[in-house]
Amino acid sequence: MTLNIGVIAGDGIGPEVVREAKKVLDASAAKNGFEINYTEIWMGGCSIDKFGEPLTDEAIALAKASDAVLMGSIGGNTATSPWYRLPPEKRPEAGLLKIRKALNLFANLRPSLLYDELKAACPLRAETAEKGFDFIIMRELTGGLYFGERSTKEVDGVMTAVDTLTYNENEIRRAAVKAFEIARKRRKKVTSVDKANVLDSSRLWRKVVMEVAEDYPGVELEHMLVDNCAMQIVKDPAQFDVVLTENMFGDILSDEAAEITGSIGMLSSASLNDTKFGLYEPSGGSAPDIAGKNIANPIATILSAAMMLRFTFDLDEAADQIENAVKQVLKEGFRTGDIMSEGCKKVNTDEMGSLIAERL
């Protein structure tokens, strides 16, 4: 079996963390007897520098031709990088939005898991951290405010900006189906998050999600307003299993869900379409301040590679091995700077990658 993996190293810490994920994937391939064929794909600031745009048609074609894409991160310092003096559609993030749309990656899974070993790094109350939590945000990724019509123009002499939030029932349905499918394999609970007390799009969201729920009698469905959900995530995150929500709410809630795990450097994510294809990336950003210093935490990217083995290639055992190796390394007390605590052994990016690869 040969896995055709497109690799977007990207900007900032991207190349360093992707290098470590490839190290772990190669070790897994050797152990489990599969082959990997990597194809380099340019996206983000590095693509702007090289080709004058954040994502070329050729890059999209290469991604489409891959079974899956592993991505580091894109973007730079928005205050100082020249990329942010370009018009919005030429900036690094535009490449990311374009690839999501071009590959129809409507389902974005962002796990939020508190590792036993990292409970001390959890910013929540001690008793909340002690209980632990393990939930997934299923964020709709190709609709809503991100892709609605927008404009900035003068109306009656006043500068006016408009963004539009549109969802049709098909977009809602396919996202909901993914959420229920995932919940069925977990603790069988979906919390659908909306703002149905104000927004029409949320009222349609709620209606369609309830229809989908009828096909999953074994899965419990609850509805929660987004402001309440933001509060519940810090108050009692253990209540959640799968949180289903629209694009913008998911963007915001997933950063909050990441922060409570102690470090965004630990969290993987997957963006999926209707096929087995997926784009796998760490939840964290490009962290330009620490780029090139070999101190970034590569675990989120390594866990994203594990998700890829599981979701795209059905290599569950190989994925389990990686996840267990990560837990093992944490148990042994190895930490990158972002998750360092007293009594632990501080390691840099490439040491962390090697430690995990050795423990598969």
- Examine the residue annotation and report whether 255 is marked as an active-site residue of this protein: yes
Among ligand IPM, Mg ion, none, residue 96 binds (CB under 5-8 Å by kind): ligand IPM
Least Å distance, CB 204 to ligand IPM, is 22
Q: Is 269 helix (H, G, I), strand (E, B) or coil?
A: coil
Nearer Cβ to ligand IPM (97/172)? 97
* Closest residue by Cα to residue 116 from 310, 349, 326, 318: 326
> Which residue is catalytic, options 255, 327, 346, 350?
255
Q: Find which of Mg ion, ligand IPM, none residue 53 binds, CB within 5 to 8 Å per kind.
A: none
Tell me if 93 contacts ligand IPM by CB under 6 A.
yes
11 binds ligand IPM (CB under 6 A): no
- Please name every residue paired with 135 in a beta bridge, in sequence order, or none if there are none: 112
Could you tell me the maximum CA-CA distance found in the chain, to the nearest angstrom?
68
| Catalytic hit among 116, 163, 215, 227 | 227
Q: Catalogue the E-assigned strands of the chain.
A: 2-10, 35-40, 68-73, 107-113, 134-140, 150-155, 158-163, 189-194, 220-225, 242-245, 270-272, 278-280, 334-335, 345-346
Say which entry of ligand IPM, Mg ion, none residue 246 contacts (CB below 5 to 8 A, set by partner kind).
none
Least distance (Å) between residue 74 CB and ligand IPM: 7
Beta bridge partners of residue 107, listed in sequence order:
140, 272
Q: Least distance to ligand IPM from the beta carbon of 96, Å?
A: 6
CB of 194 to ligand IPM, least distance (A): 18
93 vs 351 by CB, closer to ligand IPM: 93
Residue 127 token pair: 């008793």
Which of 37, 47, 40 lies closest to 74 in space, CA to CA? 47
Q: Is position 274 annotated as part of the catalytic site?
A: no
Residue with smaller CB distance to ligand IPM, 98 or 223: 98
Strands (E), 11-106: 35-40, 68-73
- Total residues interacting with ligand IPM, rule: CB under 6 A: 3
Q: Pick the catalytic residue: 11, 23, 119, 146?
A: 146
Side chain identity at residue 180, one-letter code = F
Instruction: State both tokens at 57.
Output: 């048609």
Q: Who's near 17: CB < 8 A, 6+ residues apart?
A: 72, 73, 282, 296, 297, 298, 300, 301, 349
The smaller minimum CB distance to ligand IPM, of residues 18 and 355, is found at: 18
Dist. CA 306–CA 323, nearest whole Å: 7
Rounded least distance, CB 258 to ligand IPM, Å: 9
Task: Name the residue with the smallest CB distance to ligand IPM.
Answer: 93
CB nearer to Mg ion: give 280 or 334. Answer: 280
What is the smallest separation between the CB atom of 53 and Mg ion, expressed in angstroms?
22
Distance from C-alpha of 261 to C-alpha of 256, rounded to nearest angstrom: 9
Q: Is residue 280 annotated as a catalytic residue, yes or no? A: no
The active-site residue out of 195, 216, 241, 338 is 195
Which sign does the torsion angle of CA 91, 97, 103, 105 carry? positive
* Interaction of residue 96 with ligand IPM, rule CB under 6 A: yes
Q: Which is nearer to ligand IPM, 252 or 290 (CB)?
A: 252
Closest separation in Å from C-beta 282 to ligand IPM: 10
The DSSP call for residue 27 is: H
Of 28 and 112, nearer to ligand IPM (C-beta) is 112
Subset of 216-255 contacting ligand IPM (CB under 6 A): 251
CB 151 within 8 A of CB 251: no
Q: Are 72 and 282 in contact (CB under 8 A)?
A: yes
Residues at the site binding Mg ion, with contacts judged by CB under 5 A: 251
DSSP state of 342: T
Decide which of Mg ion, ligand IPM, none touches 134; Cβ closer than 5 to 8 Å per partner kind: none
Residues at the site binding ligand IPM, with contacts judged by CB under 6 A: 93, 96, 251
Q: So which residues are the catalytic ones?
A: 146, 195, 227, 251, 255
